[in-house]
Structure 1
């Protein structure tokens, strides 16, 4: 592999690893805030116990997310300095706003929440966790605004070989951002809900604190089902924007080689990329046209036609992403998300009217289901970023031009191995910490003003 390939692998590994923590942090922040609100209004001790239990797990995940996110940002200077020089004026603006406004908001008020249980008035202390949760979601918005500019650049001009910001409002209200943000947030809530449900199912399976974790499980089921519906609708809107702005990505996701009206949604395809055709393609009739255009007879552009048009527009080159990767990551993303929704719907039915499933299989399915949204999120981002190739910034900068000119194979290979090993160690630490505090469980008796126990590393 050359420097470009190694740099892409390094950024991909660190980004996917970092994003394992992000959706869980976003979703858990709101769930913990909601539980504390329920305790503040009802004074029922079970809500306080749940607030502190899920709060500990939230803090562990938040800390790991911060550490891995810092490493990710270093790579813009190490491996992608040409990219940083070209887009720094535009890309840096939303990232600076995220750091100065959102991250300081969430970290400051999270600190007040941790140490303020026995020092702040209850209503003020409740406000701190809500402000921290709001800061977490605002932080996600600014980061998505930066990423969306790479997908659909707006509010800029090219001057002396660099992209210069001309309209920050256009960047922050990019149509790509406006559909991506709700999709990511609903995905985060689904991830946190599956996490809450799976761990609650473990306690129910062990018959520990059954009334407490039945409440927790029901909360996870409701949030999961509502989030799954939100993911579905927001994903539909995102697909329409993607079809308009990046038609090659949608065509690759469906292995659609030629322009087609009344196009079917592909369920399974075996293609011939070299010759630009499919040998086998099982479809749902009209499904792709409906997904992309909201009409049964809408026209969807194919890979071969887009490739010819891009060559005329951008010059000679191969503008196709890795079709097989785009195709299967798109399908698996949808499949894992759908399985999460089915699991939530089945769980709500099984736990209706105060019931609990009699068989152990239901609890084991819920525990296994923790991983489904994580897989869906990761595959969704792999599809989003790999489907944009060969562009780093769509239409104006190719990935090959973004890599650092001074980077060499040896240094990138060493850091790639080093980061991967460090992340493996962090994964062990994260899992051990989570398992430790899960096994401890909620405190048997929680005083209303008791402080949150510190994490023992």
Structure 2
């Protein structure tokens, strides 16, 4: 019971926190691009765009920081045995993320906030770019830590101390799983940032508000989503090959494939037994799973039953199969939500092209606003698939999830913290929603404020914490 409560708590707080992370990464780079356009052209529209989207970025960043702090405490509170086992390896990239990447993004974001009208124009622009680069670096180090859990490299297990020990930090940072996950995550972040810009721009344009600001914003969002969606497809294909090689059980669970087959088809819809142990009915596309898993339309994909038997021989008796219905449907929902976001961008680019003879139909603005949920849903179910598909392992092939929970935390304590954190995060969701809606509805500033002095002598900088 304690284990289940601890897992639910970590899942709720992590999924909630990750709602803010991809938007921060994607939107910060878009805002940096907007300010660069203003710097190069001195066009007031780009300054208004920078101010408007930058304000929403700051709200989102603040909420991400608040919700992310809880993650660190949970490792020591609910998962102390896990922390003791992996701390020597897992702690290294997280420490660098906190001391280098997060320090970089938070410091220069602060300078960007308080540097308007005080810093030289070029230096102020550099601040938002450095803050954006910091968000990307932060993502890489965190993904390197998570990827080590998916594919442990650069470490050995010290049986006397009962823990993993770091022997090659370079191998951890250059882990093929980390590289694949980073590329896939960053492109997904751009889809998220682009769809956010599309949705709010569509809301204003549908009401005829500020077209001089939101038409270029809409086009920027549409182009970003289209390019990033193609990147998601390419990097997702790379991750599927890595997953088949490193975690074949996860790939088999994603397809609910019980027996090894070659070539393997991809099921669009499958109906299984209530316990998820066998397939009853499915609609399939021939050979597609073989291509996804191996790069060949004739490739062999191992089945759950064969992989379960192999795991028992390697690790001893036990159930090494993840929750099949969860992995099956989250995998498809991730793909489906991502494809819908890409479709919105294609349709939007066609409707807003320069030679379009008719005005953009209202239904597209409605679809653009509704499409805001797509990248967040895709990100959430994607991470649920990634983490649930690794079960029963906390560190694949090394540490089971059941062995990582804190022995001193009982069921009453775990239940109490779960309830408190869920209620707290629910309250934060209300606050975040109120602030986002309020400032999004307000629109861009009507008149551009005085620009930062483009001189070699900076004006006094206000310091605030």
State if a TM-score over 0.5 links the two structures: yes
Distance 2:242 2:361 in 1: 44
| Secondary structure, counterpart of 2:257 in structure 1 | coil
Deviation (angstroms), 1:354: 6.2
Determine whether 1:397 maps to 2:399: yes
Aligned match of 1:142: 141
Structure 2 contact 59–432 (Cα < 8 Å) conserved: yes
Structure 1 contact 48–448 (Cα < 8 Å) conserved: no
Aligned match of 1:369: 371
Distance 1:104 1:62 in 2: 13
Cα distance change of structure 1 residues 275 and 337 upon mapping to structure 2, 3 Å threshold: closer
Deviation (angstroms), 1:15: 0.2
Aligned match of 1:28: 27
| Secondary structure, counterpart of 1:281 in structure 2 | strand
Q: 1:232-247 counterparts in 2 under 5 A? A: 232-247=233-248
Distance 1:23 1:129 in 2: 17
Distance 2:323 2:72 in 1: 26
| Secondary structure, counterpart of 1:299 in structure 2 | coil
Structure 2 contact 276–325 (Cα < 8 Å) conserved: no
Aligned match of 1:229: 230
Consecutive unaligned residues in structure 1, runs of 5 or more: none
RMSD: 1.3
Cα distance change of structure 1 residues 415 and 274 upon mapping to structure 2, 3 Å threshold: closer
- TM-score after normalising by structure 2: 0.95
Q: 1:249-328 counterparts in 2 under 5 A? A: 249-272=250-273, 276-328=277-329
Q: 1:326-405 counterparts in 2 under 5 A? A: 326-353=327-354, 355=356, 357-405=359-407
| Secondary structure, counterpart of 1:250 in structure 2 | helix
Determine whether 1:157 maps to 2:159: no
Superposed CA offset, 1:244-292 (max 9, x none): 0000000000011111111001111112375843111211100000011
Superposed CA offset, 1:359-394 (max 9, x none): 321100000000000000000000000000000000
Aligned match of 1:82: 81
Deviation (angstroms), 1:117: 1.2
- Greater shift, 439-448 or 2-11, is seen at 439-448
Distance 1:91 1:97 in 2: 11
Q: Which of 399, 411, 414 pairs up with 1:412?
A: 414
Deviation (angstroms), 1:358: 4.0
Aligned match of 1:129: 128
Structure 1 contact 191–374 (Cα < 8 Å) conserved: yes
Deviation (angstroms), 1:352: 0.5
Distance 2:117 2:219 in 1: 30
Superposed CA offset, 1:378-420 (max 9, x none): 0000000000000000000000000000001111111100001
Structure 2 contact 341–371 (Cα < 8 Å) conserved: yes
Structure 1 contact 193–224 (Cα < 8 Å) conserved: yes
- Greater shift, 305-314 or 267-276, is seen at 267-276
Superposed CA offset, 1:220-254 (max 9, x none): 00000001000000000000000000000000000
Structure 2 contact 119–452 (Cα < 8 Å) conserved: no
Cα distance change of structure 1 residues 357 and 312 upon mapping to structure 2, 3 Å threshold: farther
Consecutive unaligned residues in structure 2, runs of 5 or more: 454-461
Aligned match of 2:117: 118
Structure 1 contact 276–304 (Cα < 8 Å) conserved: no
Deviation (angstroms), 1:98: 0.1
Structure 2 contact 334–379 (Cα < 8 Å) conserved: yes
